[in-house]
Structure 1
Amino acid sequence: MSKECPDCHGRGYEIISTEVCPLCKGKGKSKSIDFMKISEKDIDSFLKNGAECEKCKGTGKIEVSKPCESCRGLGNIFSCKVCGTRIYGAEELEDEICSSCSRSQYVYALDDSCDLKDVEAGKLYHGIVSSAASFGVFVDLNSHVRGLMHSSNVEVPPDVGDAVIVLVKSIKAGGKLDLIPKTIAKYETIELEKELPVKNSAEIEPSMKGRLIRIEGEVIQVKQTSGPTIFTISDEGGFVPCAAFESAGKRAYPHIDVEMVVSITGEVTLRDEQVQIEVMSMKLLTGAKEVEVRARVERVIEEKAAPADIPFLVESEIMEKLKPQMLHVAKEIKKAIFHSKPIILRHHADADGITSAIAIERAILPLITEIGGADAEYYFYKRAPSKAPFYELADVTRDISFALEDASRHGQKMPLVILVDNGSTEEDVPSMRQARVYDIDLLVIDHHHPDEIVDQFLIGHVNPAHVGGDFGVTAGMLCAEVARMINPDVSNTIRHLPAVSAVGDRSEAPEAGRYIGLASDRYTLADLKEMALALDYEQFWLKFSSGKGLIDDILDLGDHKTHKRLVSLLCEQANTMIKDQLDTCLSNVKSHKLANGAIMNVIDVENYAQKFTFPPPGKTSGEVHDVLCKRNPDKPVVTIGYGPDFAVIRSKGVLMNIPRIVRELREELVGAGVNGGGHLVVGSIKFVEGMRTEVLSRLAEKIASVEVEF
């Protein structure tokens, strides 16, 4: 940029003084003239006025001058149009850029949030050639701003798609940009984006429709539709869906993926009356900015995920000791929800496992919907029963497959798997190892006798045995209290579930009586037992299905009339089938008195029980055991229901440790393939069919060697 020098008024020099012309001695007339150099036109003037002195031009005086110090003789003062610095020297005047800036010029890259108002004449910009015409080449400075390089300024026309650097020569009427191509050896790129305050999702209201805003957060889901790509962004306020359109069905911003931190500029719109942002610009944040955003979001999530430290529904010395672990697990579950991490809730397929899972489910679903929207339950939650009282390889295979499919289809994170009424034993380890390969986090709330080896695979573990308790404090009791820590609003809805759990698992702990008493204003003991039986019966037919809705009705979480009719019908059917099974089995039970005084009852459920129907072998053994305990009320009783490659153990008054017995059998009977577990006095064992006689004989010996209570 230049302007006339104010000191020399554009002359480039300053007048110091005036002197008498040395050539004409101040007369202003020349002493001699060469007539050969005078034209006929000037002869008359010469004859009349004489010849003018060539040096002083007839003034008789000459000016003594020196170059102007302000403009250094140029007449104009120049300043760099990039940095504004005064420019000296003709060699530095090309494009009116100082030598420093010419060595490293600034070239602006317009973010998609910018419009014509953000463009300035005289500055350099990055652009992409979008099309060509006979009169010039069109260049896009971003998706909204376009200019023309006129053919008069283009020596070699670039190809469509070429990246170019252009100087904005002028901005004409109507917003038309006149561009000049520039070739620059060295430059510094400056990312230029519209100055907007950063909002969090909680601050975005429907009333802001049409406003341009900026958000910063973590991408928690990428979903490709037949139209735009939907990016779900999680920040300290919650979440907000952001729609980016490239073309119908084409993935927008393919370099942006789940768990990346981004900055998004866009317009607030409404879709199905829910706030959505139409993306104008999306940038990946890295380095210090990424760390700052993550820290800001995590700080708020830590505060929001704090569990409710509230009194338990009943008095329990064991649960008071477990409270720190229970609060930790509750917080981890809430953090997963706030991070929009999918949750898979795995539970044992019996009354205790089902009530455990339903208690957690009732607590977390409102939070999942609040954070993820009306359809979030479909994408972010799954409840699945496990047939065995541990996390089987079949279970983890389904869970990993489910997670990988959702990651591919919906761009989701790997899930948090919550194991309830299972997950504490060595049998769970193979599945846990597979889950950790895919960075799947695992939490356990269980009351089976725990093995320390599992803890290395878990981010939280609640088990009464860790504080001196036993299986009498059921998983249903623990999960109901954890659910209340997650969401206290569900307390009244789920307060009867621990009682159903207690009667279903036949708990004799003091807590069982207290929870049953807590529910007595709504349900009799008979009601609770019927609910537990209905759960076991219906889950047998559901197999691996969660039975959503049906299970809710059994537990009286829907219409009460439907609940009463359904439970009555299911119990009628279940009791009929149990009676038929007992009529078949009891006459085939073989009883022996062991050395320790215990009565051991043995039934071959493979050959002397109905197969592939209710009750299954485990429950059949339990029902047989109950009948035999009533026949021997004052004696220790052990009942073993066995098949070709398994044995189910039920006991009363026999102080054995089934997990320890399983480990001993595995070590002593090489080649028998022994594994299994459960509670201390209730459990199951698996083995190879060819070693059944050896395993059962050694099992009987070990039972005969333990102490009894009677």
Structure 2
Amino acid sequence: MTDIKEIVYKLGPGCELEDVQEGNVYVGTVQGFANFGTFVMLNNSVKGLVHKSNAITQHQERTDILVMVAQVRPNGNIDLREVVLDDYSTKLVSRQVKTTRLSDLGQKIGRRVTIEGELGQVKQTSGPTIFTILDETGTENAAAFVEAGVRAYPEANTGDIVQISGEVMKRNNQLQIEVSSLHRLDGDEADIVRKRIVEALDQKSEPDDIPFLVESEVLTKLRPEMRKLAKIIRRAVFTQQPIILRHHADADGISAAAAVETAVVALIREHVSDSDSDYYLFKRSPSKAPFYEIEDITRDLDFMLKDSVRFGQKLPLILLMDNGSTEEDMPAYKVAQVYDLDIVVCDHHHPDEIVDSFLKAHVNPYHVGGDFGLTAGMIGTELARMINPAVERQIRHLPAIAGVGDRSDSPEIPQYLALVADEYPIEDCKKIALALDYEQFWLRFNDGREIVKDILNLNKNPIRHKRLVTLLVEEALAAIAEQVKTLMPHVESRTLSSGAHLFIADVEMYAHRFTFPPPGKTSGEIHDILCKKYEGEPVVTLGLGPDFAVLRSRGVMMNIPVMVRELREEISGGGVNGGGHLVVGSIKFVEGMRGEVIDKLIAKISLAPVA
């Protein structure tokens, strides 16, 4: 004859006091101790007391204990008696819990609800622990309090699927769930909830299929990859994954980044309840070089890892604009790979295939037969419209500013200029681009979020916008005029074997250092003057420093990225690196090899065909 095992019950998540039956034995968890007995949790919300006269063995906090329910008092208190069993079977007590969607919380104020979703963030304050939970309909905060500054439910972490029960309250005009129980779901229970969220987010993240602002064969071919990138960014917003946007620190890069920033911040404010959410979920930073430097990734890692530890945030999505496409980005990408960071790129520099294995999406006109004439600001604005069509009116002038700032001669630039000509004529666009370059020089590594918005008139304060741009342009033009006046008498002229004019300007010896315009801008201004003087003829301008060279070309078909790689291989100990566009870029090297590097560079320029 088979012995019948004693049944021990286990209260499942969501079970309440009415699910407890007198006389049944339950498995519980020791919560704490008092002089008169031991407090035992039967699940995350039901608690009873084992009086010291009914205790049999010694226990520690968070250890399991078997208890029999002696009495459920009218006031809800549960009297327990410890039991010891050698052989028993466990039976789960389940309750069909009706869950509430987060989008419906506004109708449940003052009522108890149960939510199932994913933890997007866990933040410990000086008071309660704040859990940000997301489901297929949105995100909200839930506050759990043990004691001031003590982490509630330490077993639950960012990314976990949980079931939260509590009362819906309104704090500082924002909805919040006052948590009475939180249970981590595992196995099939978690899979069902996660699948539901993923399917809903996949549909919600799909960008609208809207027409471009202009007719463009290249943009049309880029549309699939742009939609892919827009979907990744939208999904990051909806799942509260922070976004770090890195961009080249010039008018084109700033315009591209400002367009996406406008779209993303508006989307965050619309879908995330925290009033300060756009400051901790979105960060924009300029990169001095037209690629993602080790210095950039180091700063970003320091920022993101501290926030991950302090605020329980997910690791961010890295978005690179007007940089990110070249072999020079590889060292930073390898560092990012160690931390499994997602990286996406929107760029118009000549791309290297080697970077694609590190990227989740890569928008670049060269991939579809275009070139750098379609600027990052143009692509970025169209991308921003896909991310959030509601911001179109605010940002539609940015492609024109980016185009004139980057001296684009693409088929798209006349269309973008015509689109905003009534409000932003071409001369105004040029002034805004110059103001951006001038102000970013003094901002250094800072984003200057509100200053940049004033320069671009994104704050919709036209009087301040006009006064600020006028002032910055006056200062910039005066600085440029002084620099050019000082440098022009020292510009060396040569005629190459190809018939092209080569002009060499030593921007270290004969130009003011550490002030505006910097070497790249100075070389560009000298180049513009010489192109006007030798109109219709091929011109190359070389701005030289002790360990760098800046190149500008008109009518000479160079390929600067290829030249950099050849020089690196050919000159042992030269330390050559750099990049840029095909005919506009910069090269770095060690100062002691300056003569050999420049001689070989000029020889390669001589071999380039002229248009």
Q: TM-score, length-normalised on structure 1? A: 0.82
- Structure 2 residue corresponding to 1:352, chosen from 218, 239, 252: 252
Displacement of 1:556: 1.2
Displacement of 1:178: 4.8
- Structure 2 residue corresponding to 1:639, chosen from 537, 541, 546: 541
Displacement of 1:643: 0.5
Q: Which amino acid aligns with 2:246?
A: R
- For 1:211-610, list aligned pairs within 5 A: 211-373=111-273, 374-558=275-459, 559-610=461-512
Q: Distance in 2 between matches of 1:486 and 1:212?
A: 36
Q: Distance in 2 between matches of 1:173 and 1:534?
A: 74
Q: What residue is the counterpart of 2:82 in the other structure?
A: 181
Q: Deviations 1:78-135 (Å, cap 9, x if unpaired)?
A: xxxxxxxxxxxxxx9xxxxxx76x4151323365x5443222122112343855668x
Q: Distance in 1 between matches of 2:57 and 2:570?
A: 86
Aligned length: 606
Displacement of 1:649: 0.2
Indicate conservation of the 8 Å contact 1:355/1:476, yes or no: yes
Q: What residue is the counterpart of 1:203 in the other structure?
A: 104
Displacement of 1:367: 1.2
Displacement of 1:379: 1.3
Displacement of 1:191: 4.5
Indicate conservation of the 8 Å contact 2:8/2:27, yes or no: no
Answer yes or no: is 1:699 the counterpart of 2:580.
no
Q: Secondary structure at the match of 1:309?
A: coil
Q: Secondary structure at the match of 1:283?
A: strand
Q: Which amino acid aligns with 2:512?
A: Q
Q: Distance in 2 between matches of 1:656 and 1:319?
A: 25
Q: Distance in 1 between matches of 2:441 and 2:252?
A: 14
Change (3 A) 1:671 1:125: same
Change (3 A) 1:690 1:180: closer
Q: Distance in 2 between matches of 1:137 and 1:465?
A: 70
Indicate conservation of the 8 Å contact 1:107/1:126, yes or no: yes
Indicate conservation of the 8 Å contact 1:241/1:276, yes or no: yes
Q: Deviations 1:556-595 (Å, cap 9, x if unpaired)?
A: 1120000110000000000000000000010000000111
Q: Which amino acid aligns with 2:390?
A: D
Q: Secondary structure at the match of 1:544?
A: coil
Q: Deviations 1:169-196 (Å, cap 9, x if unpaired)?
A: 4445555545443222223334446543
Identity of aligned pairs, percent?
52
Q: Distance in 2 between matches of 1:132 and 1:228?
A: 24
Displacement of 1:220: 1.1
Q: Deviations 1:508-551 (Å, cap 9, x if unpaired)?
A: 11111111111101111110000000000000000001011111
Q: Deviations 1:295-347 (Å, cap 9, x if unpaired)?
A: 11010001110111111101111111111111111111111111110000101
Q: Which amino acid aligns with 1:261?
A: I
Q: Distance in 1 between matches of 2:34 and 2:482?
A: 87
Q: Distance in 2 between matches of 1:594 and 1:614?
A: 31
Change (3 A) 1:175 1:586: closer
Q: Distance in 1 between matches of 2:358 and 2:31?
A: 54
Change (3 A) 1:140 1:565: closer
Q: Secondary structure at the match of 1:655?
A: coil
Q: Which amino acid aligns with 2:586?
A: S
Q: Distance in 2 between matches of 1:694 and 1:213?
A: 74
Change (3 A) 1:138 1:326: closer
Displacement of 1:230: 0.5
Q: Secondary structure at the match of 1:661?
A: helix
Q: Secondary structure at the match of 2:180?
A: strand
Q: Which amino acid aligns with 1:476?
A: G
Change (3 A) 1:124 1:576: same
Q: What residue is the counterpart of 1:43 in the other structure?
A: none
Change (3 A) 1:132 1:279: closer
Change (3 A) 1:133 1:286: closer
Q: Which amino acid aligns with 2:166?
A: G
Q: What residue is the counterpart of 1:615 in the other structure?
A: 517
Q: Which amino acid aligns with 2:449?
A: K
Indicate conservation of the 8 Å contact 1:390/1:428, yes or no: yes
Indicate conservation of the 8 Å contact 1:150/1:178, yes or no: no
Indicate conservation of the 8 Å contact 1:129/1:159, yes or no: no
Q: Distance in 2 between matches of 1:173 and 1:645?
A: 84
Change (3 A) 1:106 1:492: same
Displacement of 1:149: 5.0
- For 1:603-682, list aligned pairs within 5 A: 603-682=505-584
Displacement of 1:139: 5.3
Pick the structure with greater CA Rg.
1
Displacement of 1:164: 3.1
Q: Secondary structure at the match of 1:503?
A: helix
Displacement of 1:258: 1.0
Indicate conservation of the 8 Å contact 1:657/1:681, yes or no: yes
Moved more, 599-608 or 122-131: 122-131
- For 1:15-164, list aligned pairs within 5 A: 102-109=4-11, 111=13, 114-127=15-28, 128=30, 131=33, 141=42, 144-147=46-49, 151=53, 154=54, 156=56, 158=58, 161=61, 163-164=64-65
Q: Distance in 1 between matches of 2:109 and 2:282?
A: 31
Q: Deviations 1:653-700 (Å, cap 9, x if unpaired)?
A: 111111111111111111111111110110100111111111111111
Change (3 A) 1:498 1:156: closer
Q: Secondary structure at the match of 1:243?
A: strand
Indicate conservation of the 8 Å contact 1:131/1:139, yes or no: no
Change (3 A) 1:523 1:149: closer
Indicate conservation of the 8 Å contact 1:385/1:545, yes or no: yes
Indicate conservation of the 8 Å contact 1:130/1:140, yes or no: no
Change (3 A) 1:707 1:137: closer
Q: Deviations 1:372-429 (Å, cap 9, x if unpaired)?
A: 2221112101000000111111001001111101101110011001100000110011
Q: Secondary structure at the match of 2:551?
A: strand
Q: Distance in 2 between matches of 1:140 and 1:683?
A: 67
Q: TM-score, length-normalised on structure 2? A: 0.95
Indicate conservation of the 8 Å contact 2:48/2:79, yes or no: no
Q: Distance in 2 between matches of 1:663 and 1:120?
A: 78
Change (3 A) 1:169 1:595: same
Q: Which amino acid aligns with 1:214?
A: T
Q: What residue is the counterpart of 2:585 in the other structure?
A: 683
Q: Distance in 1 between matches of 2:241 and 2:363?
A: 21
Q: Which amino acid aligns with 2:509?
A: N
Q: Secondary structure at the match of 2:449?
A: coil
Change (3 A) 1:176 1:613: closer
For structure 1, the 5+ residue unaligned runs are: 1-91, 93-98
CA RMSD after TM alignment: 2.0
For structure 2, the 5+ residue unaligned runs are: none
Change (3 A) 1:578 1:107: same
Q: Distance in 2 between matches of 1:299 and 1:318?
A: 32
Q: Higher RCO, 1 or 2 (CA under 8 Å, sep at least 6)?
A: 2
Change (3 A) 1:276 1:634: same
